[in-house]
Structure 1
Amino acid sequence: MEITIRNNQRLIRINQRRIESILKKVLKHLTLNHRRYSFIESAEISVLFVNDRKMRELNLQYRGKDKTTDVLSFPQIEQFKQFKRFELLTSLGDIVINLPQAKRQAKEHGLTLYNEIAWLLIHGALHLLGYDHEKNKYQARKMREMEKELLGVLE
Structure 2
Amino acid sequence: MIVDLAVRAQVPPPLRARLGRRVERMLRAAALSEQAPAPLEMSLRLTDDAAIHELNRDYRGKDRPTDVLAFAMREGEGGDLHPELLGDVVISVDTAARQARRSRPIRIGEAEPLAAELLFLAAHGLCHLLGYDHRDDAEEAAMNARMQALLDEAERRGPTRAA
Answer yes or no: same fold by TM over 0.5: yes
Unaligned runs of 5+ in 1: none
Aligned 8 A contact 1:56 1:68 in 2: yes
Matched, 1:14 2:29: no
2:85 and 2:77 mapped to 1: Cα distance?
Answer: 11
**Paired letter, 1:125:** L
Query: What do residues 28-64 of structure 1 show as CA deviations (whole Å, max 9, x unaligned)?
Result: 22233x2xx2327433210111111111111111111
TM-score normalised by structure 2 residue count: 0.77
Deviation at 1:24, TM superposition (A): 1.4
Deviation at 1:94, TM superposition (A): 0.2
Aligned 8 A contact 1:92 1:129 in 2: yes
Instruction: Select the residue among 35, 38, 45 that pairs with 1:48.
Output: 45
2:146 and 2:118 mapped to 1: Cα distance?
Answer: 16
Deviation at 1:81, TM superposition (A): 8.1
TM-score normalised by structure 1 residue count: 0.81
Query: What do residues 96-121 of structure 1 show as CA deviations (whole Å, max 9, x unaligned)?
Result: 00011111111233952111111001
For 1:108, the equivalent position in structure 2 comes to: 102
Unaligned runs of 5+ in 2: 105-111, 157-163
| Distance change in 2, residues 1:137/1:109 (3 Å) | closer
Higher helix fraction (1 or 2): 1
1:40 and 1:147 mapped to 2: Cα distance?
Answer: 22
For 1:27, the equivalent position in structure 2 comes to: 27
Cα RMSD between the aligned structures?
A: 2.3
- The percent identity for this pair of structures is 31
For 2:128, the equivalent position in structure 1 comes to: 127
| Length, aligned pairs only | 144
